[in-house]
Amino acid sequence: MRRATQLATAAVLLLAATSIVRLPGTLAASASAGEGLPEPDGPLAPFLGKPFLEIQEVFRGDGQVREPYLAVTTDGTVLIVRNYVGLLRRSEDGGRSWSEPIKVPIRHSDSNIIVDEQTGDLLVLRLWDGRDRLFRSSDGGRSWREQPVRIRPNGLMRWLEEVGLKRRGVRDRAVAGTYYLHANASEAGITLLRGKFAGRLIVSGTFRPHAPEHPSDRKPVDAIYSCAFYSDDRGRTWKVSELFPEGYTEEAALVELHDGTIYYNTRSHRGFYDRRRARKLGPDSWHRREAWSYDGGHTWEEYRISQVLVDGGGYNRGYGMKGGLVRLPVRGRDILLYTNADTAGGERARLTVWASFDGGRSWPIKRLLYEGPAAYSSLGVGRHGTAGEGTIFLLFEGGPEGRYTAMQFARFNLSWVLQGEPTGDGTVPDWVRKSD
């Protein structure tokens, strides 16, 4: 009976997580920013010019300098967080210099910072410990206050509870038949600015059943799934999206394209963690998973396994790694950047930047940024009219003494990326090269 129940649960999880496939096509015409929302996009020119790359160490520790979070406030202040220990630093000059560390409540399993473009507030979701709430800052990250929130589960979660298969629990109490929600190692949340869902706050998240095994080694019934949490009332109520079409996924990132479509990019755990479960790995074990949403992040369509974007180092076991993702605010264009370790599932090192010029459909160029030990990364971009205009920001784990001994902060521009090597996945369009 127990076996039958497990199989039934696995089947419904896989069915519920599978989206209707939309055939790829040309993106719709650019939509205007929603009423009352800023127009963030501007010209491409500030991101070009003379190529440059600058790297500086911003956090140092005892070998556990983990979980980089990066966000850019509405006034252009760059925020970097070492969230294992709740330390935040601020830069008001485009990442050239930094404040002393500020103690903040952001911790492991909390979401990355969600920037509310309408109010300027910063929000961080905490959903894993039995008391749903968020931390809100209205002063650019200097201080934070706690507020309760309401979570509305998706249809699958309601069904699992109704039939008694799984109910929501908390991270630190591993009870059979429970799951919990969290947004650990997400990329920064965003405000949707285009079309019907303009004003919506959204951040990637994870649906995580309790199981003793590492996520790579679990049975299908206990697979974790990427998803998203979104709010249409400035953060008081949050809905859980439908699950990503493939299980064994988490630590995802999302961006809004210039027509209101959302591009979603997620880590995969399709390798193995426990060496006793070692098996031959194909390239799909160390490639990223992608999908698009046309309904404001509620469902995910056109799922595919990227054949170009590497899913970081899994110590030769192919279980992926958090990567960085950002869209450059260029009018009428969808220039995306992605960062991860370019080691095909091997060691965590060789942090590399990939670029797309069509909203993630192709990734024709990449450039190595840091040769040495490096792991998780988080991307951001300077806003037009601020000190960081034209600059791309990257916070990453790594340093010459080891991948978790420090966090480093890189500043560079698109011209620097364009000096990279071709991937064979399409070509860099003429309009970029001519602008350069």
Q: What are the pLDDT digits (tens) for 28-86? A: 445 778 877 888 899 999 999 999 999 999 999 988 999 999 999 999 999 999 999 99
Could you tell me the end-to-end alpha-carbon distance of the chain, in angstroms, rounded to an integer? 65
Q: Tens digits of per-residue pLDDT, 13-31?
A: 544 444 444 433 334 445 7
The amino acid that residue 76 corresponds to is G
Task: Identify whether 41 is part of a domain.
Answer: no
Residues 6+ away with beta carbon under 8 Å from 341: 310, 312, 313, 321, 347, 348, 349, 350, 351, 352, 374, 375
Instruction: Write down the H helix ranges in 123-217.
Output: 155-162
If you average pLDDT over residues 308-314, what whole number do you get? 91
Give a yes or no: residue 252 inside a domain: yes
Q: Facing residues of 134 across strands? A: 125, 147
For position 30, what pLDDT does the model report?
A: 54
7 within domain boundaries: yes
CB count, 10 Å around CB of 32? 11
Per-residue pLDDT at 410 exceeds 90: yes
Which region among 13-17, 34-38, 304-308, 381-385 has the lowest average model confidence (pLDDT)? Answer: 13-17
Pairing of the two strands 421-422 and 249-256: unpaired
Identify the residue with better confidence: 38 or 339. 339
Beta-carbon neighbour count of residue 130 at 10 Å? 12
Instruction: Kindly state whether residue 32 falls inside one of the protein's structural domains.
Output: no
- Assigned domain for 115 exists: yes
Q: What is the CATH number of the domain that holds 304?
A: 2.120.10.10
C-alpha distances (whole Å) from 406 to each of 89, 131, 320, 336 are: 14, 32, 20, 26
**pLDDT score of 37:** 84
HSE of 381, CA atoms in CB hemisphere, 13 A:
24
Lowest model confidence (mean pLDDT) among 115-119, 279-283, 334-338, 406-410: 279-283
Report helix, strand or coil for 275: helix
Among 69, 47, 82, CA closest to 394: 69
- What range defines the domain where residue 170 resides? 2-20+49-435
Give the model's pLDDT for residue 68. 98
Q: What is the Cα–Cα distance from 369 to 417, expressed in whole angstroms?
A: 9
Cβ-based neighbours of 416, under 8 Å, separated by 6 or more: 51, 52, 53, 367
Cα(218)–Cα(270) distance, integer angstroms: 10
Q: Where are the alpha helices (DSSP H) in 126-275?
A: 155-162
pLDDT for the residue 344 = 86
Encoding tokens for residue 39?
């127009």
**Does residue 112 surpass a pLDDT of 90?**
yes
Burial readout 273-290 (b: 16 or more C-beta within 10 A, e: otherwise): beeeeeeebeeebbbbbb
Asked if residue 240 is part of any domain, the answer here is yes
Verdict on whether the full-model pTM lies above 0.85:
yes
Distance CA 387, CA 375 (A): 28
Q: Is residue 276 assigned to a domain?
A: yes
Indicate if the pLDDT at residue 296 is higher than 70.
Answer: yes
Is residue 9 predicted with pLDDT exceeding 80? no
Which single residue is written with the structure tokens 């755990």? 269
Q: Write the burial class of residue 5 (CB in 10 Å: 0-12 exposed, 13-18 middle, 19+ buried).
A: middle
Instruction: Provide the number of structural domains found in the chain.
Output: 1
The pLDDT, as a whole number, for residue 27 is 42
pLDDT tens, 194-251?
A: 999 999 999 999 999 999 999 999 999 999 999 999 999 999 999 999 999 999 999 9
pLDDT of residue 23: 39
Sign of CA dihedral 419, 424, 425, 428: positive
Give the list of residues 6+ apart from residue 398 with CB closer than 8 angstroms, or none: 348, 349, 351, 370, 372, 373, 374, 375, 404, 405, 406, 407, 408
Residues 388, 393, 395: CA angle, nearest 5 degrees: 140
pLDDT band at residue 433 using 50, 70 and 90 as cut-offs = confident
Q: Residue 332: what residue type?
A: G
State the chain's maximal CA–CA distance in angstroms: 67
Would you say residue 389 lies in a domain?
A: yes
434: burial class by Cβ within 10 Å (0-12, 13-18, 19+)? exposed
59, 63, 67, 73 alpha-carbon torsion, rounded to 10°: 0
What phi-psi label fits residue 266: left (phi over 0), alpha (psi between -120 and 50 degrees) or beta? beta
- Sequence-separated (6 or more) residues with CB below 8 Å from residue 202: 114, 189, 190, 191, 192, 228, 229, 230, 231, 254, 262, 296, 297
